């Protein structure tokens, strides 16, 4: 981004000073550690009060800062735009900037697959357009406006990933970006602690359509009855994807190997698509992305090319090589029962001349259902295909107990989250060059620290 401070002040209904016409803001930051010179610093009030870091922000090159009313102005190092609420001001500025750049907006949510779908959609649309997409995990109430404000002025399409764990969050984000296309990948059990039922999760996910433009399109998983029912109330155009005969974009002939998955689509039956990912479940994300690409009139050949070589966000079903030469499948960003079962099943069928070893971390935010849902993973963990299972956390003890009925005692290894070093040492002792290793757990368990030591 690039805006004069005076323009930002007017957008936030703050009376600009004459000298602000000469101050140019080239980025937005709420973290002094990653702040770049020319930034507008947004001090957020959370566990730590960002206002305490304004001087450091100035030292690192910030040219101005927002300042939330009620905080004593104890420094005059850089200009301050005083607002009632810094987070609301961030949203207001993002909305203004979005209208100024005026790109087409694709908003994506879902219990699973939203990051992968986002990456696929961005790759497909980049065949024709200048595309900006959500980076890393910037998909929440802070991340979405930051994604908007990071757009280059020549952005033609903005692909925004949206997460949520409470009612009302997606509605606010949808109203902020006013999508031209709203996508729901699927409904699972993620955040069921807060919602109680999958029906309520579906209601919350449907909030992504609340800001959908009148001439926009709603793209959703037509294999999911909860979405099919709710889509009947949508006045805008709809597009369905899935594997059922009644959907508009239907996957056929899915073949998955250890590093890639191929499939065809009924609509373009002469074309064989290949994605560089393990697991037939990722085909659902691919056909969601193809649905969006088709809506934007990307050719089939262009979409095939994009899917074949798209770059996946780090730690989402990513193959890496360990210190001993073993193949490691990293899927440690997040976890819930549906996602875990899908990736474990795919991993269990990956060809190898060695052993298949699982590292399973706690699945968080399952509430009262945690014991039952951890135990449910036992259904897809087969001792004929999996040599050893390592558990990390507190809730996975339920799965360990369940698996004890079909695994030998020396095949199951339980570690607390505070003993990751012990887990790493045990893995390094067992793993050999021909082995396959899967790491899967919720981000809060931080299995990425185990991964870092293994590679």
- The binding site for ATP consists of 110-116
Element (H, E) at 93: helix 86-101
Round to whole Å and give the CA distance between 179 and 105. Answer: 5
Q: In angstroms, rounded to a whole number, what is the distance separating the alpha carbons of residues 382 and 375?
A: 14
The binding site comprises 110-116
- Residues in the chain, total: 455
> Cβ-count burial of 108 within 10 angstroms (0-12 exposed, 13-18 middle, 19+ buried)?
buried
Instruction: Return the beta strands (E) in 76-176 as ranges.
Output: 80-83, 104-109, 131-133, 157-161
| Among 74, 75, 93, residue whose Cα is nearest residue 83 | 93
What the block records as the tokens of 316 is: 């989402």
- Helix 300-309 vs helix 114-125: angle between axes, to the nearest 10 degrees? 130
Q: What is the pairing mode between strands 261-265 and 249-256?
A: antiparallel
Positive or negative torsion for Cα 72, 67, 137, 372: positive
* Angle at 153 (CA atoms; ends 172, 86), nearest 5 degrees: 40
Neighbours of 418 (CB within 10 A): 8
């Amino acid at each position: 981004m690039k805006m004069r401070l005076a323009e930002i002040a007017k957008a936030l209904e703050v009376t600009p000073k004459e000298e602000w016409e000469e101050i140019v803001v080239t980025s937005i930051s709420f973290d002094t550690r990653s702040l770049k010179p020319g930034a507008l610093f947004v001090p957020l009030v959370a566990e730590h009060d960002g206002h305490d870091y304004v001087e450091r922000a100035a030292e690192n090159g910030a040219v101005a800062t927002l300042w939330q009313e009620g905080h004593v102005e104890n420094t005059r190092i850089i200009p301050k735009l005083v607002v009632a609420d810094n987070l609301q001001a961030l949203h207001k500025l993002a909305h203004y900037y979005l209208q100024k750049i005026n790109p087409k907006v694709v908003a994506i949510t879902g219990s699973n697959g939203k990051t992968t779908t986002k990456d696929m959609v961005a790759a497909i649309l980049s065949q024709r357009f200048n595309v900006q997409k959500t980076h890393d995990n910037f998909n929440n109430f802070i991340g979405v406006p930051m994604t908007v404000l990071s757009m280059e002025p020549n952005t033609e399409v903005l692909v925004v990933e949206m997460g949520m764990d409470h009612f009302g969050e997606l509605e606010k984000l949808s109203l902020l970006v006013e999508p031209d296309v709203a996508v729901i990948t699927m409904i699972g059990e993620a955040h069921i602690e807060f919602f109680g039922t999958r029906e309520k999760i579906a209601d919350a996910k449907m909030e992504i359509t609340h800001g959908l433009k009148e001439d926009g399109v709603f793209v959703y998983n037509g294999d999911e009855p909860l979405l099919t029912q709710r889509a009947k109330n949508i006045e805008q155009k709809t597009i369905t994807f899935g594997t059922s005969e009644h959907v508009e974009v239907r996957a056929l002939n899915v073949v998955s190997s250890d590093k890639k998955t191929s499939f065809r689509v009924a609509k373009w039956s002469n074309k064989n698509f290949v994605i560089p990912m393990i697991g037939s479940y990722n085909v659902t994300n691919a056909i969601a992305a193809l649905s969006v690409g088709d809506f934007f009139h990307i050719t089939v050949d262009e979409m095939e090319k994009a899917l074949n070589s798209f770059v996946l966000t780090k730690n989402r079903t990513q193959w890496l090589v360990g210190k001993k030469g073993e193949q490691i499948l990293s899927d440690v960003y997040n976890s819930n029962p549906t996602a875990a079962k899908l990736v474990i099943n795919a991993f269990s069928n990956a060809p190898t001349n060695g052993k298949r070893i699982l590292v399973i971390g706690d699945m968080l935010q399952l509430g009262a259902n945690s014991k039952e849902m951890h135990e449910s993973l036992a259904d897809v963990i087969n001792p004929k295909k999996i040599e050893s299972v390592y558990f990390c956390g507190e809730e996975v003890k339920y799965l360990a107990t369940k698996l004890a009925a079909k695994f030998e005692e020396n095949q199951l290894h339980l570690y607390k989250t505070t003993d990751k070093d012990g887990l790493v040492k045990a893995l390094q002792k067992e793993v050999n060059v021909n082995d396959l290793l899967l790491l899967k757990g919720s981000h809060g368990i931080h299995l990425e620290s185990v991964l870092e030591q293994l590679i």
